[in-house]
């Protein structure tokens, strides 16, 4: 059951698509106090949700602030990441479970037992917001009800479930060719190469750098023949440059965000000075979305939207302020207080709240200062592309995912989990974030495997891949200045080949589970508590997941070990994927067991009585024979499996014939 | 067996105190190539050592650079922390074990399977260094042999094993009184309060801020009556201020480090402009050390030496460079490359390598550019104090520990584990760092409990304390601007009282083990592999330790759990310390078991056949009855325990009567 409460005059976000009648507020499990809501936490109560955030699946013990932020060095004390996902779940997961969604594009703080270890407090920055309170029996009930409210999740093309290689940046067409050649010659499967900012002419959206990608159209064609999709990046800011048609059109038609005087607001991002298209404005959004066609017409069928929190390196105003202040410091005898003032000043040039409060949108016929609608920018940028694709090629799926997001955007595209680091702790975070994102509607997602920032290591990349072969988005990506991390650069290449190969054997199951999660509003990645809710030990496990309901995974997220302790909430059988061969391992009884999992193997734990369909694999998704499956199972009674399979290209998701029963 | 190899003309560090004959180099297990040494790593070989560093006990899979660095935001990809501990161990730990110590005050890089996952490479920045290669049977043999070479570790007074409360800063005498009052009124044990930089007059070493600590001498006296020791901080830089006697004396006598023109080198640290006493110069060191007497004469009996990497906020030269460059940027149309150049420029003002190459020491009669002897600065600062204490009060132990260090300094003082963060991962790091530091001679050590930077949480602080009650240095410390973390500020104070109380019950054992480790050159904190070297599972466990040889601990380092899986390498019995009561828990058989460890309890796992002496506890160390012990044990044959106990104040460590046999 969903109750909807409206406070003040909320700004519409289009997050909720279902008609729900408004109710008036009465304190019950939540006590209202100003713009805050308090809830008493029971000792062992778990708090789930909040999508893209640091820390555990159980969000207790920290304060999270929904405020889309570009923070590439995020650590445990980070309060805001790239997304704003205001959905949270409490209760026992068995008899009384609650979900709460705060629908407002402004800042929301979730204090989950931080200030007071026994209390959850949710506070809104201003008095205009909607609250949806869902009551259900189990966690899964509440998730399903919430997901029905917010509408069907974006569905990616099947090829986008292949392995992708990325780097900031492959700077020339030949470099792209070389990477593909290195993979192909070693028979390591791959389906896509990502193009970071340098494919553009001086970082101008929808342009091609013709010095380094002279034959871009041919490259796209040539790659397509090899079953490689090129996936270019699109940034949230448009370069301010006379004669650049996108800029000129935006300027002429008034499509850019304005400053307080009605002038185009100018900020610095990759290309230097830029303007932000007013993604919230219907007309501007339609115009910007249509631009993607420039690349689609060159054969491109996938995009990633970046810098759309939106990230601001600097504003002209701020820069001037800094220079003026530096002038002052120069003349002073710099003591330590003034010194830190100075370094702080420089440290807060980028993404400054003052700048976010200095420009304006025209949204649904009204003028809004950006900070009031901040969390919608990435969402509406991605929506602009998705709506254009729908106009242009309504029957074809196009890959689309974003860095920034808000709930509602899940209908238009996936997300990657932001600019992470080559840290073992970020591998762990990747594991824990999957179910949190699923709860919020984000199904097509994954992290930058191996880590984006900082130097990776061979073992970290291998272990990360061993987990990531289960995530819909499977992309190895790294930043400029860090160690190169294409898998063929390391010592034990066959191990990488073995792990990535397993993805292509597992894909029928992974894709089927993804599609069912999207079509039925269920979880693709389940915390153990979602299936074994009455098992107190299972409820505390955060480094194991059920992929769908048939298999459990227990990723090795620690350095220098050859296995780990796994909690088996029931009898399960180990399947070891190694060098294309699937070895049926031990059967483990309920309880804790140490399981050997050497690097270079992918380990699956099959539930007793459940099926796992496995294909022969392939060098790309196109190669995989989705109907030539081997079925693994053990136990006496085997539950039949609803297998979803379609062409992976068109949008006729709902045809009944896509489901067939395996047994 | 130790072999000593000398290459070039190494700078003497006084790290090694034992006379060892020089041998000439021949490639054997190590291949020399230029200034680098390569060693092939076997698949499951563990690499131990490197003291204060990030990542696991097993150092494989990363690159560590010995270069004392002030890095308060250290993450997994950090290469250098505050100490430079060039001792590393390889081999099987059972039959053939190797230790290697590189003795050079310059930069050393340990590439432990980073570049090539199967190879250890050790590279020196320049061609002058000594290598000591130790061959032994077990890890413990090699550690003992190394520790004998480098001399007996610093021994702290017994009161310094009590719980200490710190904050940057308690700004007034009344604030200090209030903190003590809050602890005492709740009967939470405490022995010391730390004074951070604000007790000084404008951060001037060896001064008192008489506005806020008018009656400093009385405060010290008053606190002493309550069995509270005040422990002031001393910084590595001396304020450049006319009329300030320490500065005037240093200037007059030429005791400060010089720039290339022979002028006193000026840098900015806490007080603003400062000079560095030339800690490496005998005369300057004696002079600086004697200054501690100013505070000793006021009743102080403990110090912590800070900022002695040495940390440089800025140099005058660099600041000018930055201002000039800003002038340039101002006139430019700032594109994104120049923008990042600018932020990088500001980002590298502090601790800049160019600055470290711009000043000079007079060391053992020769002039050295600082970067050649960089890693000795903190060591020699601490030595300066320790040598003065030896002159002044040779029979009395004075608490002394440092932030920066080099092997050799372990004879003069302890270290704290630098400016950490309120992260669960830094609790884990604290656990893993203990044995690594013990190997390198550092016994009196601990981390800032609860985390120095970032906001702590109640559960993190509690869990951290549950571990830290075993570490010699037990100090709750936090930075300005973060959440206050005195334990009485949280919701469940009795839990804190219970945990800290356990420290005072366990102290007879902890102190005895510490003293024996110091006097016998053994490990106080053992990795499981040191005791159960043939057990392959034990060898991979990094989140459990043996404290001495009688008990094992398995700290809970994860949020939102009520227990954890523990590996029992043999039969052990759980002892639960809760609210002053010791409950004899389950006996666990060899293997993995889940153990319930609710917050607020301290859990000890006693080995079968071993003793644990426990006292009644107390409100301060002075209260503890070290001879009124209850002995815990289980099993048929109980090994007798060599119990070390002394007055904890004087330096007659070696008296045989301090040891008695418990059985």
What is the DSSP code string of B90-116? EE-SSS-EEEEEEE-SS-EEEEESSSS
Residue B492 falls inside a structural domain: no
- Number of structural domains found in chain B: 2
How confident is the model at residue A365, as a pLDDT? 95
Smallest CA-to-CA distance from B193 within B223, B172, B164 is with: B164
A493 touches chain B (CB under 8 A): no
Residue A115 falls inside a structural domain: yes
State the pLDDT confidence band at A302, using cuts at 50, 70 and 90.
Answer: very high
- Quote the crossing angle between the two packed helices A458-468 and A493-520, to the nearest 10°: 30
A460 touches chain B (CB under 8 A): yes
Residue with tokens 């951290």: B464
Task: Name which of A239, A538, A559 to mutate to probe chain B: the one with the most chain B Cβ atoms within 10 A of its Cβ.
Answer: A559
Which of B 88-107 lie inside 8 A of A, CB atoms?
Answer: none
A115 touches chain B (CB under 8 A): no
Which residues are CB-contacts of B246 (< 8 A; sequence separation ≥ 6)? B204, B205, B206, B238, B239, B291
Helices (H) and strands (E) in chain A, counts: 15, 39
3-state SS track over B463-496: HHHHHHCCCCCEEECCCCCCCCCCHHHCCCHHHH
CB contact under 8 A, B339 and A314: yes
Residue B481 falls inside a structural domain: no
A657 touches chain B (CB under 8 A): no
Residue B581 falls inside a structural domain: yes
Percent of chain A with pLDDT over 70: 100
Question: How far apart, in whole angstroms, are the C-alpha atoms of residue B229 and residue B215?
Answer: 16
State the pLDDT confidence band at A382, using cuts at 50, 70 and 90.
Answer: very high
Q: Which chain A residues are Cβ-neighbours of B564 within 8 angstroms?
A: none
Domain end marker among A116, A131, A150: A150
Name the residue in chain A with its Cα closest to that of B595.
A537
CATH number at residue A23: 2.60.40.1760
Q: What domain range includes position B656?
A: 520-662
B139 touches chain A (CB under 8 A): no
How confident is the model at residue B131, as a pLDDT? 98
State the pLDDT confidence band at A333, using cuts at 50, 70 and 90.
Answer: confident
- Residue B437 sits at φ, ψ, to 5 deg, of -70, -40
Helices (H) and strands (E) in chain B, counts: 15, 39
How confident is the model at residue B332, as a pLDDT? 79
Question: How far apart, in whole angstroms, are the C-alpha atoms of residue B422 and residue B458?
Answer: 11
Strands (E), B539-632: 545-547, 551-553, 563-568, 572-578, 581-588, 591-596, 602-607, 612-614, 630-632
A323 touches chain B (CB under 8 A): yes
Question: How far apart, in whole angstroms, are the C-alpha atoms of residue B62 and residue B59?
Answer: 7
Cβ neighbours around B422 below 10 Å, total = 26
A203 touches chain B (CB under 8 A): yes
Name the residue in chain A with its Cα closest to that of B460.
A61
Surface-to-core class of residue B393, CB atoms within 10 Å of its CB (0-12 exposed, 13-18 middle, 19+ buried): middle
ipTM of this predicted structure: 0.97
The DSSP symbol for B48 reads E
- Residue B139 sits at φ, ψ, to 5 deg, of -55, -45
- Residue B104 sits at φ, ψ, to 5 deg, of -160, 140
How confident is the model at residue B121, as a pLDDT? 98
- The answer to whether residues B433 and B545 touch, using CB atoms and an 8 Å cutoff, is no
3-state SS track over B369-386: EHHHHHHHHHHHHHHHHH
Q: Which chain B residues are Cβ-neighbours of A114 within 8 angstroms?
A: 455, 457
Give me the DSSP letters along A71-135: -TT--TT----SEE--EEEEE-SSS-EEEEEEE-SS-EEEEESSSSTTEEEEEESSS-EEEEEEE
- The mean pLDDT values, 10 residues at a time, for chain B of 663 residues are 97 98 96 97 97 98 98 96 98 96 98 98 96 98 98 98 98 98 98 98 97 97 97 98 98 98 95 96 98 98 98 92 88 81 90 97 97 98 98 97 98 98 98 98 98 98 98 98 98 98 98 98 98 96 98 98 98 98 96 97 98 98 98 97 98 96 95
Surface-to-core class of residue A462, CB atoms within 10 Å of its CB (0-12 exposed, 13-18 middle, 19+ buried): buried
Residue B18 falls inside a structural domain: yes
A295 touches chain B (CB under 8 A): no
B458 touches chain A (CB under 8 A): yes
Residue A353 corresponds to which tokens in the numbers above?
């709240």
Task: Name which of A56, A62, A77, A489 to mutate to probe chain B: the one with the most chain B Cβ atoms within 10 A of its Cβ.
Answer: A77
- The answer to whether residues B433 and B417 touch, using CB atoms and an 8 Å cutoff, is yes
How confident is the model at residue A527, as a pLDDT? 98
A562 touches chain B (CB under 8 A): yes
CB contact under 8 A, A491 and B116: yes
CB contact under 8 A, A61 and B421: no
Question: How far apart, in whole angstroms, are the C-alpha atoms of residue A509 and residue B503?
Answer: 53
Assign A37 to helix, strand or coil: strand
CATH number at residue A626: 2.60.40.4040
Residue A282 falls inside a structural domain: no
Rounded to a whole number of angstroms, the distance from the CA of B116 to the nearest CA of chain A is: 7
**What's the whole-model pTM score?**
0.98
B24 touches chain A (CB under 8 A): no
Average pLDDT for residues A104-128, to the nearest whole number? 97
Smallest CA-to-CA distance from B302 within B417, B186, B162, B496 is with: B162
- The answer to whether residues A404 and A237 touch, using CB atoms and an 8 Å cutoff, is no
Rounded to a whole number of angstroms, the distance from the CA of B565 to the nearest CA of chain A is: 8
Domain end marker among B106, B123, B150: B150
Domain end marker among B115, B150, B185: B150
Rounded to a whole number of angstroms, the distance from the CA of B635 to the nearest CA of chain A is: 26
Q: Which chain A residues are Cβ-neighbours of B453 within 8 angstroms?
A: 77
How confident is the model at residue A557, as a pLDDT? 98
CB contact under 8 A, B272 and A333: yes
Question: How far apart, in whole angstroms, are the C-alpha atoms of residue B142 and residue B157?
Answer: 28
Rounded to a whole number of angstroms, the distance from the CA of A227 to the nearest CA of chain B is: 32
Cβ neighbours around A472 below 10 Å, total = 24
How confident is the model at residue A317, as a pLDDT? 87
pLDDT for residue A68 is more than 90: yes
Residue with tokens 């450049």: B240
CB contact under 8 A, A336 and B268: yes
A512-560 pLDDT, tens digit per residue, is 999 999 999 999 999 999 999 999 999 999 999 999 999 999 999 999 9
- The answer to whether residues B605 and B553 touch, using CB atoms and an 8 Å cutoff, is yes
Residue A58 is nearest to which of B76, B330, B560, comparing CB atoms? Answer: B560
Residue A582 falls inside a structural domain: yes
The DSSP symbol for A627 reads T
- The answer to whether residues B447 and B420 touch, using CB atoms and an 8 Å cutoff, is yes
Which of B 568-607 lie inside 8 A of A, CB atoms?
Answer: 592-594
- Quote the crossing angle between the two packed helices B458-468 and B493-520, to the nearest 10°: 30
Residue A56 falls inside a structural domain: yes
Mean of pLDDT over chain A: 97
Cβ neighbours around A333 below 10 Å, total = 7
Longest dimension (CA), chain A: 84
The DSSP symbol for A483 reads P
How confident is the model at residue A470, as a pLDDT? 98
């Amino acid at each position: 059951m969903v109750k909807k409460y409206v406070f003040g005059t909320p700004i519409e976000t289009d997050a909720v698509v279902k008609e729900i009648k408004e109710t008036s507020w009465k304190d019950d499990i939540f006590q209202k106090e100003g713009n805050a809501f308090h809830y008493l936490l029971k000792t062992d109560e778990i708090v789930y949700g909040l999508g893209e955030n640091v820390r555990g699946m159980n969000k207790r013990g920290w304060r999270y602030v929904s405020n889309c932020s570009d923070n590439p060095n995020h650590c445990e004390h980070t309060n805001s990441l790239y997304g704003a996902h205001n959905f949270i779940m409490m209760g026992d997961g068995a008899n009384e479970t609650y979900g709460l969604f705060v629908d407002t594009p402004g800042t929301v703080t979730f204090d989950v037992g931080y200030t007071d270890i026994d209390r959850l407090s949710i506070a809104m920055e201003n008095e205009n917001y909607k609250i949806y309170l869902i009551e259900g029996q189990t966690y899964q009930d509440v998730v399903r009800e919430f997901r029905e409210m917010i509408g069907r999740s974006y569905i990616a093309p099947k090829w986008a479930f292949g392995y992708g290689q990325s780097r900031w940046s492959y700077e020339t067409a030949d470099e792209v060719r070389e990477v593909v050649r290195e993979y192909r010659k070693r028979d390591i499967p791959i389906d896509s190469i990502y193009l970071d900012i340098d494919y553009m002419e001086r970082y101008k959206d929808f342009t091609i750098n013709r010095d380094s990608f002279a034959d871009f159209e041919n490259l796209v064609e040539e790659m397509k023949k090899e079953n490689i999709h090129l996936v270019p990046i699109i940034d949230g800011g448009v370069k301010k440059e006379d004669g650049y048609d996108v800029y000129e059109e935006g300027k002429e038609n008034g499509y850019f965000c304005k400053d307080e005087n009605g002038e185009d607001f100018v900020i610095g991002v990759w290309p230097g000075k830029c303007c932000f298209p007013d993604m919230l404005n219907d007309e501007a959004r339609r115009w910007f979305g249509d631009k993607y066609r420039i690349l689609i017409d060159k054969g491109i069928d996938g995009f990633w939207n970046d810098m759309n929190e939106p990230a601001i390196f600097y504003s002209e105003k701020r820069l001037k302020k800094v220079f003026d202040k530096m002038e002052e410091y120069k003349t002073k005898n710099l003591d330590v207080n003034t010194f830190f003032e100075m370094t702080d000043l420089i440290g807060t040039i980028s993404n400054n709240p003052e700048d976010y409060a200095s420009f304006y949108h025209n949204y649904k016929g009204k003028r809004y200062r950006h900070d009031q609608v901040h969390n919608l920018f990435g969402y509406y940028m991605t929506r602009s592309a998705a709506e254009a694709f729908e106009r242009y090629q309504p029957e074809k799926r196009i890959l689309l995912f974003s860095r920034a997001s808000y709930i509602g955007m899940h209908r238009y595209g996936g997300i990657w989990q932001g600019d992470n680091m080559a840290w073992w702790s970020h591998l762990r975070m990747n594991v824990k974030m999957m179910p949190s994102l699923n709860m919020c509607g984000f199904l097509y997602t994954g992290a930058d495997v191996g880590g984006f920032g900082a130097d990776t290591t061979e073992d970290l990349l291998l272990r990360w891949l061993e987990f990531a072969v289960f995530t819909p988005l499977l992309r190895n990506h790294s930043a400029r200045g860090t160690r190169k991390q294409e898998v063929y650069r390391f010592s034990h290449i066959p191990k990488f080949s073995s792990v990535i190969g397993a993805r292509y054997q597992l894909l029928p199951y992974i894709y089927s589970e993804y599609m069912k999660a999207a079509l039925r509003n269920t979880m693709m990645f389940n915390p153990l508590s979602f299936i074994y809710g009455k098992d107190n030990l299972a409820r505390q496990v955060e480094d194991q997941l059920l992929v769908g309901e048939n298999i459990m995974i227990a990723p090795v997220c620690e350095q220098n070990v050859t296995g780990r302790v796994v909690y088996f909430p029931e009898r399960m059988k180990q399947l070891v994927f190694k060098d294309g061969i699937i070895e049926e391992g031990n059967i483990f009884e309920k309880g804790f067991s140490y399981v050997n999992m050497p690097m270079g193997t992918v380990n699956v734990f099959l539930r007793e009585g459940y099926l796992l369909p496995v294909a022969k694999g392939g060098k790309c998704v196109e190669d995989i024979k989705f109907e030539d499956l081997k079925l693994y199972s053990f136990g006496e009674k085997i539950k039949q499996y609803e297998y979803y399979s379609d062409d992976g290209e068109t949008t006729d998701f709902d045809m009944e014939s896509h489901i067939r029963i395996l047994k």
